[in-house]
Amino acid sequence: MNGNKYTNGEIRNGNGFETNGDSCTYDDLMITAKYVLDRIPKMPSIGIICGSGMGALADTLQDKTIIPYGEIPNFPVSTVEGHAGQLVFGACSGTYVVCMQGRFHHYEGYPLWKCAMPIRVMKLIGVEFLIATNAAGGINPAFNEGDVMLIKDHINMMGFAGNNPLQGPNESRFGPRFPPMCKAYDRDLIEKAKDIWKNQQFDGRLFEGVYTCLGGPNFETVAELRMLKLLGVDAVGMSTVHEVLTARHCNMTVLAFSLITNECVMDYYDHSQPNHEEVIDVGKLRQSTLRRFVEEIVAYIAKNRMK
């Protein structure tokens, strides 16, 4: 017995290496969801994941309630610089939303189901729409640093290697054993996001493309990037895919975009090297545009897509 009233007697130390931690049971997740619901005035219908350097998306919410991950039973904690590690609730364009300021990555040592566990908590507290953002390296030669790519599809490379957040016994209260993924990213939201970018005349360029997530934490070799390019990947990062799989499993509607923080080094004679500081810096440079972009998308969803 570990004395934590929020667990089912399993030993959870918050870092993902619990002794009996093959999954979070539905009951564990309900405990987590109830704890969160007890601290907020109403249920959010939109969830937003703030990517590296994009935490400011949450800073301008109105009437905020902030819950640090460390206070939430069963929640992992964020260990990456540039990721604050808290849930921020509040109004965005007049709609009540929840932002994850800081997400969980496989390279932090967390299994994929645990990286994506906050998505199930979001579902249980009322979220029906997920807006996932990330920082990514641009593989498509047309992409420059600071560009934005709406994700139209992904290649689940970690899934090819047998690693998937939905592995293990299926929890049918969330979704089916074999969820389809051919419409993972909502087409209407992609089109509307493009319209918004154009109509609002946001600075910089907006593309649409295919994303892949690798395990990290190292950036890719030249040969790996060339292989990804051959496979049709436009941008590469270390997140999002497992969150989207989990969100679609429980039938959330998903929009996702990547901020291209660096152009991938595809040539042995190119002496530039990607680094995390650059990822954070480009995020900061683009955060006010991306915040306005997300606000407009939220306003569209609230007006046209919410029941």
Specify the 3-state DSSP secondary structure of 50: strand
Sign of CA dihedral 293, 295, 296, 297: positive
CA 1, chain centre distance (Å):
34
Determine which residue in the list 31, 72, 116, 238 makes contact with ligand HPA, applying CB under 6 A: 238
* Piece of the chain touching ligand HPA by CB under 6 A; list 181-189, 193-201, 260-268, 285-293: 260-268
239 in catalytic set: yes
User: Which has the closest alpha carbon to 231: 153, 162, 166?
Assistant: 153
Determine which residue in the list 237, 246, 283, 296 makes contact with ligand HPA, applying CB under 6 A: 237
- Number of neighbours of residue 23 by Cβ within 10 angstroms: 17
Question: What are the residues whose beta carbons fall under 8 Å from the beta carbon of 17, sequence distance 6 or more?
Answer: 109
* Piece of the chain touching ligand HPA by CB under 6 A; list 9-17, 198-206, 241-249, 258-266: 258-266
Output 57 or 298, the one with its CB closest to ligand HPA.
Answer: 57
Shortest Å, Cβ 234 to ligand HPA: 12
- Placement of tokens 């004395």 in the chain: 3
Cα dihedral 48, 51, 56, 59, rounded to 10, equals 30
Lookup: tokens for 74: 């069963």
Output 175 or 237, the one with its CB closest to ligand HPA.
Answer: 237
Strands 46-50 and 62-68: unpaired
- Number of neighbours of residue 195 by Cβ within 10 angstroms: 12
Output 32 or 262, the one with its CB closest to ligand HPA.
Answer: 262
* Piece of the chain touching ligand HPA by CB under 6 A; list 23-31, 36-44, 232-240, 291-299: 232-240
Binding mask of the shown chain, residues 113 to 152, with x at each position contacting ligand HPA by CB under 6 A: ----------------------xxx---------------
Q: In the complex, which residues of this chain contact ligand HPA (CB under 6 A)?
A: 135-137, 219-220, 236-238, 261-262, 264, 274, 279
